[in-house]
Amino acid sequence: MRVNENILISSLTTMRLGGPARYVLEVEQPSDVSDAYGFAEQFGLPTFALGYGANTIGHDEGFNGAIIINRMHGIAEEPTENGVKLKIMGGEYWDDVVEYACNKGLTGIEALSKIPGLAGAAPVQNIGAYGQEIADTLTEIEVYDSVAHTFKTLGKADLNFSYRKSILNTTQKNRYFVISITLELHPGEMTRPFYNSLENYLSNHNITDYSPKSIRAAVSAIRAEKLPDPLTTPSAGSFFKNVYISDSDLEKYLEKNYPVHRGKDGNKINSGWLIEQCGLAGKTFHGIKVSDKAALVLINESAKSYNDLAAARAEIVGKVYDKFGFWLEQEPVEIQ
């Protein structure tokens, strides 16, 4: 375990906001995790588990506690009757995992290409894109239970997955540190119908190859065109969750020509479309710019404080509510 003191959260997160963290503890093996929580408990400090920092916002006052960063690496394979199980250490960069699977012709996570973050964070908010989500393939995770001070295995059913939610960011938030995740994948390809933007891209480019590698290439191209690289352009990825509507309200919105996507997880309207319809794409609020390519993304152009972001968020949310009656919900978590 590596112990670092007084590290700016702005240097650890892709939105580039946040004051100093008292300690940053980097764990490289499972035993380091229990040591890290023991270190924090010894000094009476709160803890926060951090991965790549792409879906995390820091506050100006920093964090008077211990941020624990996952640096554990490795992927192990286990054959199954229909495919293969991949046991992935939580510190693996997520897109490397997707590339690994696609190179082996395994389907199940190819539409999740280019989502920034670490593998250990994937089940926390049940990452999803273009019709796939981690809940589709995850079988179990290994965790450190910071309350019971023990390692344990949680199965998919234990995690209570829903849209961008699991027990890891709701009822048991901050309790478990993800050591590894296990996915069950199989040879094959995605089947239609695809998510609208993916379907359009494939059609416009006359692509009929739906293999994992082909879908990964298409999704990567779509994201590269619309989404800024958080390594070079400060942002937190998709800033707002999509809006879900009930089956009883579906016809009402379809009659109004709202672009409703009907999937296995329900009916949703892209929040980026709502923001665009309010004329906010490309606009800047308090140093925070609404991306003109993907309005769901907020870019930190010149904001220096969390208050700047909060003010920009409030204006955007308010304008969408005034026009459509929907309250947008923030996707990134906050260190506090």
Of the residues 28, 315, 331, 334, only one is catalytic, namely: 331
Catalytic status, residue 164:
yes
In Å, how far are 115, 129, 134, 247, 292 from 277, measured between CA atoms? 25, 22, 30, 23, 12
Give the three-state DSSP class for 4: strand
Cis peptide before 193 (omega within 30 of 0): yes
Q: Which helix (H) or strand (E) holds 244?
A: strand 243-245
- Exposed, middle or buried by CB within 10 Å (0-12, 13-18, 19+), for 254? middle
Of the residues 16, 22, 164, 313, only one is catalytic, namely: 164
Give the three-state DSSP class for 125: coil
Give the three-state DSSP class for 194: coil
Of the residues 166, 238, 271, 291, only one is catalytic, namely: 238
Q: How far apart are CA 336 and CA 334, in angstroms?
A: 6
Half-sphere exposure of 278 (CA within 13 A, CB side): 22
Catalytic status, residue 192:
no
Nearest to 263 by CA among 252, 279, 250, 282: 250
Alpha helices in the chain (DSSP H): 30-42, 94-103, 156-159, 196-204, 212-226, 247-255, 271-277, 306-324
Catalytic status, residue 331:
yes
DSSP-derived letter for residue 214 is H
Question: Which residues are known to be catalytic?
Answer: 164, 238, 331
